[in-house]
Amino acid sequence: MIRLLRSPWVAECASAVLVFFTAAIVGREAAAGMNDSQWISAAVAVLCSIGVAVMVHVGPAERPGLSAFQKTRRD
C-alpha cells in the first residue's frame, strides 16, 4: 500500500488535481470580482501549481534497486 502511494503515477495524478482545483478556485473568485492584489496572488498560485506539476513530471526517475526507505550512497 505504501509503495502505491509513493508511486510516480500517484504523484502525477495528485499534481494534476492540484492544478485543476487551483484553477477552479481562482476562476470562481475571478467571477465574483477581485482587486489587483488578489489577481497577482491568483496568478502566483496557478503558476506555482503548474510548476509543481512540471517538477513532478520531469523529475529524476528512481534509481533501480533502491527501495523507498534506503539511503543513497554518496559516490
Q: Tens digits of per-residue pLDDT, 2-55?
A: 666 677 888 889 999 999 999 999 999 999 999 999 999 999 999 999 999 999
What is the C-alpha to C-alpha distance for residues 22 and 20, in angstroms, rounded to an integer?
6
Residue 64's pLDDT band, with cuts at 50, 70 and 90, is: low
Asked if 68 and 2 touch (Cβ cutoff 8 Å), the reply is yes
C-alpha cell at 16: 494534476
- The CB density around residue 50, as the number of other CB atoms within 10 Å, is 15
Looking at residue 68, what is its pLDDT? 58
> Smallest Cα–Cα separation from 8: which of 66, 56, 51, 73?
56
Asked if 19 and 50 touch (Cβ cutoff 8 Å), the reply is yes
Higher-pLDDT residue of 73 and 47 is: 47
75 pLDDT more than 60:
no
